[in-house]
Amino acid sequence: MRWAIRWTLGAALLSAPLAGCESGDGAVIAEGRKALRANDYAAAHAKFDEALKADPESYDALWGKAEAFRGEAKLSDQQKVLEKIMSIPKLAETYAGVVKPALEDNYRKQAETIMGTSPEQAEAFLRKAIDLNKKSEANITLAELLSRSGDALLKKAKYKEAAEKFDEALKLRIARKMRGQITGKKEIADFMAFKAELMPRFEKVKGELVEAKVYDEKTKTFFVTAEAVIEDASKDDENFEANAERAGLVAVTQALNDLSWKVAGKERPEGASVAYSKDVVSIVGKSLDKRGKEHVFTYRVSLPADAVFEKVLEIDQDKFEKAAPPAGDGGAAAAAPADAGAK
């Protein structure tokens, strides 16, 4: 569809009558147009140049030369002529509706020609096209270019720079599917950039965690063990085991949260919590044992380091669940959690 649209535009511009013949030698312009239709570009240039000697601001002659350059695939020369037309106030006011689309098309084609060799220059051309037409197809091309630049930066471990490229791409007018793909890449770049910044903090507690067998450096895995003591319980209770396991889950959830704040290097606020997905937490083992008069439910789980680091990012961004305000506070403070949930 893109190429069909461009071809139609080009054909329409070539076949359109050159308005304003009063601004130059009409016969000379007509001869130039005839040569243009015959693809005799040298002759066309000669005639349009002759007309421009008589009137340097002849729209017909300037437009004719721009079309001749387009036919010769001399996009840089075509650009100069079209920009010259737009630099002449009286011509820009009258012919902008025709010249701007041609100039936009020129910028896009030049960008596509050099994207592989001169991405920065291609980006400049595409931004010029978008400046002329906010809905230009150049939005898509530029998003693709920026996304590829971001990919290259990711491979070089330049995560912040990569995230910036993806962010620039997301500001453009692009389809939902492409937006979703680039958003995913940006999230990866953001996380990797954060992870690089987190490492010095993590190093401060890593030795302790390795020694306690909570962190395995070789597999980049955390292991968390938690116990729940069930007092005054009777195995005759038909819900005993289910309740015991539930208590074990609560205990291991608390332990995971304590670990998250420890890795973050921050004190965990009372009642604060982050939620781990079942997809990232694996049950290594669980058991219900009797120790004297008490029953103890033990849970041991494992999860990849990145899963913990993601929660540290949430903690740093203050995106964790907070304790509900005291019942007597009321007012705006009491309404805040409900409002946040509604968003």
Residue 220 domain-assigned?
Answer: yes
- Identify the pLDDT of residue 25: 75
Q: What angle do CA 199, 204, 206 make, to 5 degrees?
A: 80
- Identify the pLDDT of residue 175: 98
- Identify the pLDDT of residue 235: 59
Number of domains in the chain: 3
Q: Which residue, chain included where needed, has tokens 């150049």? A: 138
Residue 148 domain-assigned?
Answer: no
- Identify the pLDDT of residue 234: 63
Q: Which residue, chain included where needed, has tokens 């049950």? A: 283
Residue 331 domain-assigned?
Answer: no
The DSSP element (H or E) to which 46 belongs, if any, is: helix 41-54
Answer with the one of 136, 162, 180 that is the final residue of a domain. Answer: 136
Q: What is the pTM of this model?
A: 0.76
One domain for residues 169 and 255: no
Residue 66 domain-assigned?
Answer: yes
One domain for residues 269 and 306: yes
User: From CA 111, how far away is CA 41, in angstroms rounded?
Assistant: 24
- In order, the DSSP letters of 141-197 are HHHHHHHHHHHHHHHTT-HHHHHHHHHHHHTS---HHHHHHHHHHHHHHHHHHHHHH
Residue 230 domain-assigned?
Answer: yes
Q: Which domain holds residue 249?
A: 212-323
Per run of 10 residues, the mean pLDDT along the chain (length 343 residues) is 40 43 72 98 98 97 98 98 98 98 98 96 98 98 98 98 98 98 98 96 97 98 96 72 93 97 96 96 96 91 98 96 67 34 34
Residue 336 domain-assigned?
Answer: no
